[in-house]
Structure 1
Amino acid sequence: MIQIDVEKMRAEFQKGDAIRDQGLTEPDTVEKIRDLSYGPHGIDNTFDIYYPKGTKQALPTLIHIHGGGFFYGDKELYRFYTMFLASQGFTVVNFNYRLAPKHQYPAPLEDTNDLMHWIVDHAAEYYIDLNNLFLLGDSAGGQLTEQYAALTTNPDYVALFDFEIAPVQFNAVGLNCGAYFLGTEKPIEASFPYYFGETPSASVKKTFPVEDYITSAFPPAFVMTASHDFLNTEGLQMGQYLVSKSIETHFKVYSNQDASELGHVFHIDQKSAIAKACNLDQVQFFQAHLNK
């Protein structure tokens, strides 16, 4: 079993994220609607919506699932990154979800689904285009992106859960430095005991590996990792796996020209030129999959 000191790791991650974002300011070209609520779980069910100032009609909409190993992270840590995406001509939804170990699987999936129901009900109020939805996430959020996209495209998979899937479909997804193939080489509880519990039920175990439930209906996918990402192998495997399922896939490993270290979720760093290049590549991929 992998045992971690959650509070210690949260503090370490927060320190690193603060250094990364030090000196950044929010763009004044983006409208920000903050702290909306999509569910019953207080601050864990709050979210922000961003779109370019002057927007008068619905825009293609990106829904971003933050990372953090299922135990860390929130919308505030991703605001600069998601506001940049909004500046490229999108409505962007940046949300919190319940975290482990207090809340275990499938709480983040349930929250993501509740958010989707809210989006369907309120799209017209916030320039959300339900005909041009995109889902993306990194690290643990990449895994949740993969899993929720599988749910929206496989009714047999939905039947394993006790919630009603929201009536949404995604034009494409972004799988960034994600944790995939859980339950393939070792039990899910061996990787994330604080998330799945040390003795997950048979019904929980049946929902993994997620890859077993990916069908040809899975959305086109932009899959990326980095040269020194500790999840590099999983990213490569995911790209190859989706291609093997005849799913349109754009896969890329990003690296620095001088071969210096480029690590996990590098793309969040708004001071980085290679992060900007990666993010624009993904934006271009999404734009190529717009419904006119």
Structure 2
Amino acid sequence: MTAHAHTDEPDGQNTDERKAARRPWHRTKVTVGVLAALVVAVVVVGSITPWPSAMLIRSVFTKGGDETAAEMDKHVPDTELTETLDVSYADGGADTTMDVFRPASASGPLPTIVWIHGGAWVSGSKENVDPYMRILAAEGYTTIAVNYTIGPEGVYPLAVHQLNDALGYIDEHAEELGVDPAQIVLAGDSAGAQLASQMATLVTSEDYAEILDITPKIESDQVVATVLNCGVYDLAALAALDGIIGWGLKTSMWAYSGTRTWAEDSTGATMSTVDWVTADFPTTYISGGNGDGLTWLQSIPMAQRLDELGVDVTTLFWPAPHKPALPHEYQFHLDMPDAQTALQKTIDFLDAHTTR
């Protein structure tokens, strides 16, 4: 007769399984090791290319942009509009398209707001600002939301060339778009405000156009005003930022410029419109929230510089202790009374500097 040893192990459990069950720490060590390896991989890859970090930033901004657009949708008036979507202004596919809005009752050309969307140069699309364009169009304007190639898929100054093409297309097709080519307002938010300021500088400063080696496709007297919300105009000040905000903006600029040395080469220099604007810069509305660090670092110094040059400047800045603290791009959060104030002041500015 063969003797069988007694065991408490469940039937069918093999030796390896029994050993693993008695040593849960082994699985923990493996998991920690895998996570550590992933972290190291991300750090190593992130030191070579901005792509992983830029995609992370894009995902965060895309979510926020979609939510903000949905919030604005609730405030679009019932005014009947004519909408022409996805108009191709160049041969770059979806990157070179624009959406055009105007009152359905309009029978002739209207003053035109060309709006450049934000998104830290690595995210965003015209659809993010379409609700705001509908709101402004209902006030009696033709409004155009423009796409451009964001980074890292396209690098600077590609977007500037594309936006110059867009302005040329708008000018050439003014009649069919319902545009008054003698009354163009260049506008933008965040990175789009930087680009709007750059386009306005391009068309009003021969020296700047020469240093960029870009021939403007519209004339300076066609641009009657600019609207700049929460923008960036001084890249040296941007490069000095620390913390998570500094990391995000520096990473975005690496992706957009295609180089880590953007702060010390021609990219940062030519994007810093505060250093290039002249007395011929268009009359400007500029605003930022008191809870947005870029207001103090970028928008207020830009407004001061334009004022020094004798440019007609309308500002909407809030006292530092204002409550609630107004965040970056607060102007689009139209559920907030202060955003409604900003919208009305924007409309008043547009009405004061255009004729219909």
TM-score past 0.5 threshold: yes
| Counterpart check, 1:193 vs 2:241 | no
Partner amino acid for 1:198?
R
Name the residue aligned to 1:218: 281
Question: What is the CA distance between 1:284 and its match in structure 2?
Answer: 1.2
* Deviations, residues 58-105 of structure 1 (Å, cap 9, x unaligned): 111100011010001001111111110111110001111000011111
Describe the SS at the equivalent of 2:235: coil
Q: Which runs of 5+ in 1 are unaligned?
A: none
Partner amino acid for 1:221?
T
Q: In 2, are the aligned partners of 1:226 and 1:255 still within 8 Å (CA)?
A: no
Question: What is the CA distance between 1:274 and its match in structure 2?
Answer: 2.2
Describe the SS at the equivalent of 2:59: helix
- 1-structure distance, mates of 2:84, 2:70: 23
Distance 1:203-1:229 versus aligned 2 partners, 3 A rule = closer
| Counterpart check, 1:240 vs 2:291 | no
Q: In 2, are the aligned partners of 1:81 and 1:269 still within 8 Å (CA)?
A: no
Say which is worse superposed, 16-25 or 277-286, in terms of deviation: 16-25
What is the number of equivalent residue pairs in this alignment? 292
Name the residue aligned to 1:11: 59
Structure with the greater alpha carbon radius of gyration: 2
* Deviations, residues 153-184 of structure 1 (Å, cap 9, x unaligned): 11111112233211233111011111111136
Question: What is the CA distance between 1:44 and its match in structure 2?
Answer: 0.3
Q: Which has the higher contact order (CA 8 A, sep 6+)?
A: 1
Say which is worse superposed, 225-234 or 63-72, in terms of deviation: 225-234
- 2-structure distance, mates of 1:158, 1:208: 12
Correspondence 1:6-155 to 2 at 5 A: 6-22=54-70, 24=73, 27-28=77-78, 29-155=80-206
Please report the RMSD computed on the Cα atoms of aligned residues, expressed in angstroms.
Answer: 2.7
- 2-structure distance, mates of 1:256, 1:209: 25
Distance 1:208-1:143 versus aligned 2 partners, 3 A rule = closer
Say which is worse superposed, 265-274 or 146-155, in terms of deviation: 265-274
- State which of 209, 221, 227 in structure 2 corresponds to 1:174: 227
Percent identical residues = 29
- 1-structure distance, mates of 2:200, 2:355: 18
Partner amino acid for 2:65?
D
Distance 1:246-1:42 versus aligned 2 partners, 3 A rule = same
Name the residue aligned to 1:229: 292
Distance 1:103-1:47 versus aligned 2 partners, 3 A rule = same
Describe the SS at the equivalent of 1:131: strand
* Deviations, residues 18-41 of structure 1 (Å, cap 9, x unaligned): 333447366552211101100111
Question: What is the CA distance between 1:276 and its match in structure 2?
Answer: 2.4
More helix by share: 2
Distance 1:158-1:229 versus aligned 2 partners, 3 A rule = same
Partner amino acid for 2:223?
F
TM-score (structure 2 length as normaliser): 0.75
- 2-structure distance, mates of 1:160, 1:184: 22
Q: In 1, are the aligned partners of 2:110 and 2:142 still within 8 Å (CA)?
A: yes
Describe the SS at the equivalent of 2:134: helix
Q: Which runs of 5+ in 2 are unaligned?
A: 1-46, 241-248
- State which of 172, 183, 197 in structure 1 corresponds to 2:236: 183
Q: In 2, are the aligned partners of 1:160 and 1:203 still within 8 Å (CA)?
A: no
- 2-structure distance, mates of 1:163, 1:195: 19
TM-score (structure 1 length as normaliser): 0.91
Partner amino acid for 2:284?
A
- 2-structure distance, mates of 1:211, 1:69: 18
